[in-house]
Chains A and B, each alone.
Chain A
Amino acid sequence: MGTLLAIRARGITKCFGDVVALDGIDLDVGQGQIHGLVGPNGAGKTTLLGLLLGLAVADSGHLEILGTPVGRPLAAPDGVSGFVDAPGLYPSLTARQNLAALAALRGRDAPRMGIDDVLDRVGLTDVADDRVRGFSLGMRQRLGLAAALLTKPRLLVLDEPSNGLDPGGKKYVHSVLAGLAMEGTGIVLSSHRMEDLEALCSDVTILATGRVAFSGPLSKLAAENRELDYRLLTSDPQAAVRLAADTAGVRVVDDAGAWPDVEVLVVRALVAAVDDLVVRLVHAGIAIRELTPVLSPLEAAFLALTEQEEPS
């Protein structure tokens, strides 16, 4: 069975003078899918988002957006919306005026949501008539999302939409994005906040120096043959240390100094070895109070694939 693709990119290359910003990028994003895009600074994320929004064209490769080949600048089809770098807002206008001006720009014929509706969806109804000049970063991010929603997008491209969001704002944004995905909108989300990507995305692409280091489901990242550090809190730390040391494939990490609590143990192992350790702890009658990865699989993969040093 075929899947509707919001984005299909093959061998995308983009250079700025001598600098290769993107080098043979392949990317598939299905409709109704939230796809995370991560990478260190300078990895080419913003360039890729710019290509998806139609701000530039690739030097080589093939890009289809919503089934339409894109070969020249600003030629992305209707239904593509979003922002790169930061939402485009005018501080001298109110939130409502920003949206109204944008809606008027696109005309009455273009499909669009009501201004009050989108303001309500991002939780800005109460400040709709306030000038954007006085908005916090998080409020601007939410208003930028509202502006993107205005056109009923079928592909939403967002660059760091969670910047500056408080927990309440984050809840609104996550809820809106999840709702859009349910309605069939494909979403590409670039962020450095791994917890957001893990909470929202089904798939991720990790970019490093303009190339794809990984692309696929999040679950595949966790299953990759890669050791992770786990924080283990048990009812008998001394016995747990001994058991961990005796378990094949498990190493007790000495540098657990980040947790001064002596009862906390940090072990490094593959998922299968951790499973073994859990079984042995249970058999030994040791209660497991907490077992969590020190770094999320995505963050660990990000650091490993992009060859960044983990903080000590």
Chain B
Amino acid sequence: MTATTVDDQAVRAHPVALARGYRFELIKLVSQWRIRLLVLTCGIVPAQFVAAVSRQSTLPEDTLFGRWMHATGWAGPLVVLGFAGTWALPLLTSVVAGDVFAAEDRLGTWPHLLVAVRSPRRIYAAKALASLTVILLLVAGLAVSSAAGGVLAVGNQPLVGLDGHLLTPADAAGKVLLAWVCVLAPTLALAAIGLLGSVALGRSPMGLLLPALVALALQLAQMLPLPVAVRLALPGYAFIAWNGLFSSPAQLGPLMIGVVVSLGWAVTGTALAYRLFLRRDFTNLAYDGSGRRAVRTGVPPLVGLVAVTVAVLAAATGASGSGIEQDKVQRSVATAFAHLYRMQTGQLNRPDVTEAQLKATATCTKGGGNVAPRGPGNDWRCVISWHLPDVEAAGTAIYQLDVAADGRFVADGDGPKEVNGYFLVRTPTGDAPNPLWRFDGTVALLSTTQKG
């Protein structure tokens, strides 16, 4: 051979179109038995769970809306949503997004994929979009399945909100849908963490577990008595902020903050994973993740994001402390009591009375009056007073409150027996659950304090 001759047939290859790469990634994901199993599980199990629980005599009263599962089919999808935010969604994002890059490391298919697609950027985009699609499919399955199970098993009845007011079935359906849409934001944040772990840690199981571990850490943080600005600055808050939809008026502020913070994490996590992915040396076939680089690249920006968010929220909302204060607790309890009193009045076939006529007020103390009445704890005690038309004496009832750090509370009736001391009320048609015996509520962490 003496000469080099250019082969003029050779043309420079172009990267594969993103749509084709996306389809390729989707085919690979959906062909995995565990993804198929998850899709089936999310489509079937919630319906069966809700239908089965709704027919039990004992309801999951520790879970928000659990005590209303006999009353309406719309409580079921909210119970599942509460459970999903704690366990299911972090695990789903772990299995899908936490493995989407690591799978190629495990199979040793990076060279093949890069030669076929010819663009790490498009590979990243295709993988991120494909995992997002599967996650959306799984979340939609959970929502639709649990709603269908509830409505078919119990019926399309009104739902009692967190302040005791009744939502019509149509309102309940809309808010249930909106609540599920809202938790997509923190789910995407966890998915971005999953992408980051999958890119950074390669075949290591830690990459797969990262979203679940981060979700667990965020849940633990939400259980601590954090300042409200810090609580809202964490992406996990959006998993519980949907509660505010079920008050009247809806507590949209914390919800919007939670959603925006979560989307911020989703964007930041995805961008960090993208940056790390593009820096990877794909000729190193023994690559097994770069934990140190991941920590250097991933942790400081996320910590910085939290710090900036805390500062912005503290400045914008003026919120300080836990956000749980005496007057807010008193208002929340009194409002819920008034709504539920009307419901009990209806059950007992007594003349209707409005919340305005009742003029319900609450006087709450904490720790028997020995500690400052603010912050979470199970030592709140409230005395509620109300008036009935044409009755001079005010009625009173006592509640023991367990107020969680995130503002949710359970009010446990402590008498008198005729009002809130017993779990059943005797109605003209027989015994029925007493709505005043025990109820859930929520304290608006960001609402302004009423003076006087």
Contacts and interface: CB of A to CB of B under 8 A. Distances in A.
Interface string A44-83: 0011001001111000000011111000001111111111
B114 interface: yes
Contacts of B33: 92
A83 B283 contact: no
B111 A88 contact: yes
Nearest to A77: B10
A83 B13 contact: no
Contacts of A64: 4, 6
A55 B283 contact: yes
A4 B17 contact: no
A20 to B, nearest CB: 14
B12 A75 contact: yes
Nearest to B23: A104
Contacts of A16: 281, 284
A161 interface: no
Interface stretch (B24-32, B202-210, B346-354): B24-32
Interface string A134-151: 000000000000010000
Interface string A6-39: 1010000000100000000000101100000000
B111 A2 contact: no
Interface string B108-139: 11111111111110000000000000000000
Contact of A87 (B6, B112, B118, B282): B112
A53 to B, nearest CB: 5
Given A65-B10, A67-B6, A81 B1 contact: no
A85 B111 contact: yes
B429 interface: no
A259 interface: no
Nearest to A147: B112
A55 B282 contact: yes
A67 B10 contact: yes
A85 B3 contact: no
A46 B283 CA distance: 8
Contacts of A85: 108, 111, 285
A308 interface: no
Given A83-B111, A101-B24, A102-B116, A3 B5 contact: yes
A107 interface: yes
Chain A's interface size range is 35 or more
Nearest to B108: A86
A137 B10 CA distance: 33
Given A75-B12, A78-B13, A92-B33, A56 B282 contact: yes
Interface string B91-122: 00000000000000001111111111111100
A107 B3 contact: no
Secondary structure at the B interface, as helix, strand, loop or mixed, is loop
A271 interface: no
B450 interface: no
A47 B282 CA distance: 11
Nearest to B119: A74
Contacts of A65: 10
Contact of A2 (B4, B20, B32, B282): B4
B115 A81 contact: yes
Chain B's interface size range is 35 or more
A92 B32 contact: yes
B2 interface: yes
A93 B33 CA distance: 10
A101 B112 CA distance: 13
A157 to B, nearest CB: 9
B53 to A, nearest CB: 35
Contact of B1 (A28, A55, A86, A87): A28
Contacts of B3: 1-3
Nearest to A8: B4
Contacts of A87: 112
B384 to A, nearest CB: 60
A144 to B, nearest CB: 8
B20 A88 contact: no
Given A55-B111, A85-B111, A88-B108, A66 B7 contact: yes
A170 B4 CA distance: 33
Contacts of A55: 111, 114-115, 282-283
A84 interface: yes
A112 B16 CA distance: 15
B316 interface: no
A88 B27 contact: no
B282 A88 contact: no
Nearest to B103: A90
Nearest to B120: A74
A106 interface: yes
A93 B5 contact: no
Given A74-B118, A93-B31, A50 B13 contact: no
Given A47-B283, A93-B31, A68 B113 contact: no
B24 A74 contact: no
A64 to B, nearest CB: 7
A79 B12 CA distance: 9
A55 B281 CA distance: 9
A89 interface: yes
Contacts of A154: 7, 9-10
A204 to B, nearest CB: 15
A154 B8 CA distance: 12
A107 B13 contact: no
B21 interface: yes
Contacts of A56: 281-283
Given A3-B1, A4-B7, A8-B4, A74 B114 contact: yes
Nearest to B126: A105
B393 interface: no
B117 to A, nearest CB: 7
Contacts of B285: 46, 84-85
B28 A90 contact: yes
A105 B9 CA distance: 22
Contact of B10 (A54, A79, A84): A79
Contacts of B107: 88-91
Contacts of A67: 5-8, 10
Best-surrounded residue of B4, B9, B113, B283 (most CB of chain A within 10 A): B283
B111 A76 contact: no
Q: Nearest 4 A-B pairs (CB), nearest first? A: A88-B112, A2-B3, A67-B6, A66-B10
22 contacts: A2-B4, A4-B7, A53-B111, A55-B114, A68-B12, A74-B119, A77-B11, A80-B115, A81-B115, A83-B115, A85-B108, A86-B108, A88-B109, A89-B107, A90-B107, A91-B107, A93-B31, A104-B20, A104-B23, A106-B20, A107-B16, A147-B112
Interface of A: 1-6, 8, 16, 28, 30-31, 46-47, 50, 53-56, 64-68, 74-93, 97, 101-102, 104-107, 147, 154
